[in-house]
Amino acid sequence: MASITPTRDRLLDAFEELLIEHGERAATLEGVAAAAGVSKGGLLYHFGSKAALIDGLLARLSDLVAEDIADIRSASAGAVDFLIRTSASAGTPFDRTFVAVTRLAQGSHQQAKDMLAGFRRDWVAVIEEAVGDRDVAQMIALISDGLFYESTVSDAKDSTVDYLSPAGLDGLLAVIARVIPKRD
């Protein structure tokens, strides 16, 4: 991976913002340069093409997912607890990069689609390590996906059950615990 510089990060941040807020059509090289406050030549110095900019964003997400998986594995309260409690979008750098790459995947970027599918397999695998059952791991991953979705599109005030609150997550984790197979 190329070295990270403040300008390089600012360019990736601007690319993310344009993808999230306006979609891929607005995320042109000119648009990214303007949003980052650099010249197009400055952008091209760090990313020689839009494909290189996309590669930089995918590399950023790959690094963030690797950190997330390490955090899941080492969580003191356990992998399932950590995954569920951190599933809601909180506007973190991870969340923003994930959403931006998802916007690319919704378009014609097969590499983004493939990477997201691979990351999902990685998350399921780490949960399967913790619970010992692939089907239960898949269910937990789907619950995690649902929490992320719910946190990005719903107004918690309108929900009859707020699964995103600490009490709601405690209740959800209690239900999940009932379906995790007992290990010898």
Distance CA 1, CA 63 (A): 10
pTM assigned to the model: 0.89
Distance CA 12, CA 27 (A): 11
Helical residues (DSSP H) of 23-87, grouped into ranges: 29-36, 40-46, 50-74, 79-85
Taking residue 54's Cβ as centre, other Cβ atoms within 10 Å add up to 21
Residue 53 within any structural domain of the chain? no
Q: How many domains does the chain have?
A: 2
Task: Tell me: do 95 and 143 sit in the same domain.
Answer: yes
Task: Tell me: do 13 and 90 sit in the same domain.
Answer: no
**pLDDT tens sequence for the chain (184 residues):** 455 689 999 999 999 999 999 999 999 999 999 999 999 999 999 999 999 999 999 999 999 999 999 999 999 999 999 999 999 888 899 999 999 999 999 988 999 999 999 999 999 999 999 999 999 999 999 999 999 988 888 765 555 557 778 888 999 999 999 999 987 6
Task: Tell me: do 25 and 71 sit in the same domain.
Answer: no
Domain around 65: 58-179
Predicted confidence (pLDDT) per residue in 70-102, tens digit: 999 999 999 999 999 999 888 899 999 999 999
Residue 184 within any structural domain of the chain? no
Q: Which residues of 77-101 are buried (b: 16+ CB within 10 A; e: fewer)?
A: eebbbbbbbbbbbeeeebbbbbbbb
- Please, are residues 12 and 57 in contact by the beta-carbon 8 Å criterion? yes
Q: What is the CATH number of the domain that holds 28?
A: 1.10.10.60
Task: Tell me: do 63 and 38 sit in the same domain.
Answer: no
Residue 96 within any structural domain of the chain? yes
